[in-house]
Structure 1
């Protein structure tokens, strides 16, 4: 047993490894138990012979009745783990093939030789692939060094094993490992052989800082006890919404309101509701608007009558009943028309007088400039318009048929604009006037005579009715 220290060195090396998690929850695993060594596998000349008498333990296997191996491992990611195994045994059965035969073997007693193994192992687990939580088959490869008494050889190893997880952290483990030396079997210090292991495996090292039963690596709130369904985060008010997504974590509320309560049931969270005990509207910040005029009742002087905000929620009056509200009525106590902004309508007689003046406006030939003597006419028109400051008028220009259509159109527009500009420059508000031209398209007399053409060259004034 003088090489037993090699086993402990291997274990200490394994404990010093630094890699990733053993599985999803615990970073480390330790296995220990019994091992058995059989040299029949290396002595056989063919594959079938290697497994002959495989289960004849008394005849083939070397076993000591005690804990005889220790493995410490840690995962290196993607279902792989790396570990070190130390093992010890007594070799009192060696199987060799009878020289000159292919299938005759003999078992000899070499005299209780001491067996030591120190091996590195890389395992690949198929447990996730097959989708179970208790059956964990794996393949492994590796290498190491094996001594039988004072003699030793390096080996390349491979095999398979199974973990049967009895609890989350404890498993029954079995494994078979073929150890291959590249030296001639007859001359090797250590013959090629197979080593079997059976024992217990314990996983450990998972950290749960807040003690909520969820490991820190899976816990989104590792320092605060929480619930599994929220990956370890708390739900302080037990409303089914985790605190990190709950706008009111200490008051049970509704999911559609991000965990906040709504006492009046108007769909507005109490924290955002200026009237939390009276159902209201979202655009009123939870307060009611009884008359639907867009002004909440608390600020509405007429809460049961719809009215504009400019009048504090009350309807505008129409004192004279002409359909024009007093605020828009230039004559609020006298009935008028909408087209004249609540004032009496401009009469036909007034319009006739305006157009009588307009037809006497004279322009220089082919131009939009006025002839001498026209200004007094324009001033008379201005004076009439001033008497009706609420009325709006359209000034229209017309020409005879002399010249091209395009030139006549432009001339009529320019002449109407000249009249408008004179009136604006002399005190009439521009927003009461508009001008347009019709060219020669609307004659009122024949363009075949000079008299008819003179009548067609005219300016007309129309009342704009809204």
Structure 2
């Protein structure tokens, strides 16, 4: 048996050394060579427990050749050589006798991965014929194993298979093996790692994602069908980018950064000046114009220009008057909450809160000037009331200045009891007359 084992080993090395020159990254063929051990864990009663539990012959080997059928399924032809040793010989003459063990199997292997990583586990199932000396029996086999890939083509294999004989005199046993494994096979003309039989562009270096065709920008649209081969783009855009996502590829989009309709060359319908003419066709997009003048203003006569200026001036006056009225109303609403400590010119906490809100309004209107007026009821002398109203108006003015209003923008004056807005003969009327009012002066 030993000379036979060495001869087969030499032949296998010659085959593998030749195969290594034709291997590619996409190798459908697989050759596995290594040692195997026969494990007979339960001694068969019919065979009188005559064989050792573990059997390993140094000259024995296991050789298999497989071909990938689909992405994860391989069919493998297996030849195994070993020997089984007598355990309780019938006679002294048989003590230590070894019987040749030979098996031929056909196995289907299902890979749990595609063999692209370091570990490539699989399950195997099949059947064959096993001889022990000159007695043979058909078997069914199943097991698991793993390939440990060191590179694209070379790796190590570990496998355990249980074999069940159909005949009663057959040996029910496990076969464990370990060895080296090589991948090789298909033609790869362009050297891109994808075999010609599955390469859509066998003469052009390509990538797996594009079925072997070149794809310079890596967008999964092959260069021959890519309208923008050097710019990454989705397949729905024929490989062209569409930065604004409006469905018009940038290559044909006259407004590539703004969404628009395809019928409008990818541009939005924008009318900045509101003259009813799209900016794309408006020669004066920021000036209202007329269609007859391509969106530019109509050339006016001196009289028409004066009329237009008058209208614009009146529009500005009306706008300013509206703003002033709104500011006046807002300020005087807060003025109603301005309260002084009784008989004094110092502001109460509620009064300060109201003035804080008035300050915010004044601060927004940078060009407006204001006049603060103070008023009292008729209780007391006129001179006393006039002085009190002036001090309170000045107190409000000074508070606003400390908040940040310029001194040049605010003045104050007291009017005492001269301008009542309610009847001083009632308490409610006198409360209303004791007030602060603020006016816009420009």
- Output the TM-score relative to the length of structure 1: 0.42
TM (norm. structure 2) is 0.44
Structure with the greater alpha carbon radius of gyration: 1
Structure holding more helix per residue: 2
